[in-house]
Structure 1
């Protein structure tokens, strides 16, 4: 915002993650470089310190400036940038989780070149001199059919897998959004099943703020789920969206993009607490300290549970660093996984259960790679069939998009009345965002 807003500042100061992060101070050289690959970023928001920003490439317009003039493009990236890096206690806007960490910005969403932007960030991290690097990927990979219908994509391209492995070999941690379809994780979110430097984040909401966190919170209805889910963080709802920077002012947004940005900010704080930790240790610390929601331990619905930054920082400080040299993953064709057929299963039923789309039955083969002739033919129990590692679908790398656009405040500088946040009450119950 352009001026002081006591109401805005007070509501954001109560954000549990910001409150926890304010309690720690780490040396500048211990901060990781935080990357954000998104839709572009406002060029002049008073709550952002552009002196602490490294500009990457704009892969949409083909230039070296990912910053946007007013009205030039999507403000999705600006919103996430504010959640991570907005100035603290400056009397304007909101408070970010870790404004001390240097930030690298790349405009890759909407270009078909997000993987190229990732490679660029990895190289920039090596040149930055910072101890470590973490990148926020709050984007969804989609595909388009012959009729022009867009749907989630369930396979990564070779170029995308190569970029993720390049980041892995350089020790770069990827924080990835689960997606907002309320169904199975799509391709990028499932990459955590193959690459151990990927942490997939779903959104949580408070269903009963009168209960303790473990009993009163759960996965937001819109948040995707599945085997690759790492943990949850507050993502807001349509009725109670999250306030952050948009343009030269403020706006609101809800979704797994928001949750992911919060985990990226939290990750930067945890790593700054002990920069000698490997990315594997950081991920394990975040997951092992998460608060179980309903079901003890990890499960595909809520992952490891709800992010607990305070516990994670303290564990990071107490953890002895261990060197980790990741075994290289050979990048070739998209990997496949085996499934032992159970009684009553058909190709279509298996596709719906395992891949989230019964039309993806054409991607399922027998153990010798032969396709099945009918979606409803009974499969022989006990035999082995092969499925795509990430799911089904024909790849169209030219289509990718964040799930939602932030909404400007009306009137400007006014905090939504239902945005009440405290350490014991994260969010009011609300509707899904779709």
Structure 2
């Protein structure tokens, strides 16, 4: 099972944010934890039956309707997470590994998809399979939401025996953050979508600026909202604490839903939740090609990143704002009450979102100029006689004649003076 470390310095960051009026009063440091998912092995699952196990997820997201249009070919999804085992059959040949961007080494090393069983690699491989799993051939193996998309793996440096993220104060004291570096790297290296199934309780200036930079380049950012829905803080305050990067403006924050479209009890509930996706017992691929299940908003974010990849494959120039609009305007809410802070606008509908994206893309085109219909001269708006034609603008005729006569007299006088001077100069010359 994968659990990321509780941030030891979170209380300091959160207290500062609360003092600025950005966030509610923070919980204790022990109550805050980055967004995480539990990834468990399922010994009974094989490549032959995994499709049946994941059927409910694909149906909940209405993916097969979207697959009639696109399967994500040509799109690269940057996965900011643990390492990805690119050797599993579902991902083989479609994983590119970027530099490791952990805090102890700001981007100097090059990572390699891990073959070990550490929890960070398990988490990264599981999320990659949900986004772009392509099956194993012959109708076997797990299918991701965008099975023809590519993965750009940007592994963060997890530390500790249990694959935990470094303590919060270690990250926040850096001039830049690993997440910020990863977002900028993705935006500069061909990624159209960034999936972040991680987070921390507290904003970071470098991350906020990196988010703005990526959005300005048309990159869509997706992040999990966190698993604090059943925490003591949530019970005491009727809301969950905000998780970042999901809490940054412009990022699509994703909550977790259950098999019936209901909010998952653990899913964080606050205004950072934009949409939701299945996050309970979601089938995934593990390193080495085994299968497991994932519980948490991490899986939900990866699924929505796959839906975004389908939209960007069909409409590559669509802005992040329009992609978000396509998702939110077609999401299905179990309560039918519109937006709420548990499910956001509802569970994503891939088929409907793709169709809506087409409508938005068409609405964004400039229509040709329309030719006004001809109108007969005697027709006009209103009743009664037509008004008389106004006088034409211009000089008064009398003033125009006076001006012309004066000009003519001036020219004649000038010519006479020239003639007189010429004669005088000729008469006074030498004999």
Q: What is the TM-score when the length of structure 1 is the normalising length?
A: 0.61
Relative to structure 2, which stretch is displaced further, 253-262 or 242-251?
242-251
Relative to structure 2, which stretch is displaced further, 225-234 or 62-71?
62-71
- In the alignment, which residue of structure 1 is the partner of 2:78? 35
- In the alignment, which residue of structure 2 is the partner of 1:78? 125
Higher share in helix: 2
- In the alignment, which residue of structure 1 is the partner of 2:181? 116
The reply on whether 1:59 has 2:101 as its aligned counterpart is yes
- In the alignment, which residue of structure 2 is the partner of 1:354? none
d(CA) in 2 for partners of 1:255, 1:136:
15
Cα RMSD, aligned residues only: 2.6
The reply on whether 1:69 has 2:115 as its aligned counterpart is yes
Relative to structure 2, which stretch is displaced further, 160-169 or 109-118?
109-118
2:144 to 85, 96, 109: 96
d(CA) in 1 for partners of 2:67, 2:361:
24
Distance 1:258 1:117, change over 3 A: same
Task: List per-residue Cα deviations over 1:300-319 (Å, max 9, x = no partner).
Answer: 23210111111111111222
Tell whether the 8 Å contact from 2:255 to 2:276 is kept in structure 1 after alignment. yes
Tell whether the 8 Å contact from 1:26 to 1:273 is kept in structure 2 after alignment. no
Post-superposition shift, 1:321?
Answer: 5.5
Tell whether the 8 Å contact from 1:217 to 1:293 is kept in structure 2 after alignment. yes
Distance 1:217 1:243, change over 3 A: closer
d(CA) in 1 for partners of 2:47, 2:184:
39
Instruction: Give the SS at the match of 1:202.
Output: strand
Post-superposition shift, 1:295?
Answer: 4.8
- In the alignment, which residue of structure 2 is the partner of 1:328? none
The reply on whether 1:191 has 2:235 as its aligned counterpart is no
Tell whether the 8 Å contact from 1:278 to 1:321 is kept in structure 2 after alignment. no
Task: List per-residue Cα deviations over 1:351-393 (Å, max 9, x = no partner).
Answer: xxxxxxxxxxxxxxxxxxxxxxxxxxxxxxxxxxxxxxxxxxx
Q: Where in structure 2 are the equivalents of 1:1-400 lying within 5 Å?
A: 5-13=47-55, 15-16=58-59, 17=61, 18-25=63-70, 28=73, 31-49=74-92, 51-60=93-102, 62=105, 63-72=109-118, 74=120, 75-88=122-135, 90-91=137-138, 92-108=140-156, 110=165, 112=171, 113-125=178-190, 133-141=192-200, 153=201, 155-182=202-229, 183=234, 184-188=240-244, 191-192=247-248, 195-196=249-250, 198-206=251-259, 216-236=260-280, 241-248=281-288, 249-320=290-361
Distance 1:140 1:265, change over 3 A: same
d(CA) in 2 for partners of 1:24, 1:174:
23
Higher share in strand: 1
Task: List per-residue Cα deviations over 1:123-145 (Å, max 9, x = no partner).
Answer: 112xxxxxx7111110021xxxx
Q: Which runs of 5+ in 2 are unaligned?
A: 1-42, 159-164, 172-177, 235-239, 366-431
Post-superposition shift, 1:101?
Answer: 1.6
Tell whether the 8 Å contact from 1:180 to 1:224 is kept in structure 2 after alignment. yes
Q: What is the TM-score when the length of structure 2 is the normalising length?
A: 0.61
d(CA) in 1 for partners of 2:48, 2:257:
27
Post-superposition shift, 1:296?
Answer: 2.1
Tell whether the 8 Å contact from 2:242 to 2:272 is kept in structure 1 after alignment. no
Distance 1:66 1:107, change over 3 A: farther
Tell whether the 8 Å contact from 2:223 to 2:246 is kept in structure 1 after alignment. no
Relative to structure 2, which stretch is displaced further, 258-267 or 70-79?
70-79
Post-superposition shift, 1:5?
Answer: 3.3
Post-superposition shift, 1:220?
Answer: 0.8
- In the alignment, which residue of structure 1 is the partner of 2:422? none
d(CA) in 2 for partners of 1:26, 1:47:
14
Task: List per-residue Cα deviations over 1:170-197 (Å, max 9, x = no partner).
Answer: 22111010111104242415534xx22x
- In the alignment, which residue of structure 1 is the partner of 2:162? none
Distance 1:43 1:273, change over 3 A: closer
Distance 1:162 1:136, change over 3 A: same
Post-superposition shift, 1:72?
Answer: 4.8
Relative to structure 2, which stretch is displaced further, 156-165 or 284-293?
156-165
Tell whether the 8 Å contact from 1:179 to 1:189 is kept in structure 2 after alignment. no
- In the alignment, which residue of structure 1 is the partner of 2:30? none
Task: List per-residue Cα deviations over 1:163-220 (Å, max 9, x = no partner).
Answer: 112212222111010111104242415534xx22x100000113xxxxxxxxx53211
Tell whether the 8 Å contact from 2:276 to 2:348 is kept in structure 1 after alignment. yes
Kindly name which structure, 1 or 2, has the bigger radius of gyration based on alpha carbons. Answer: 2
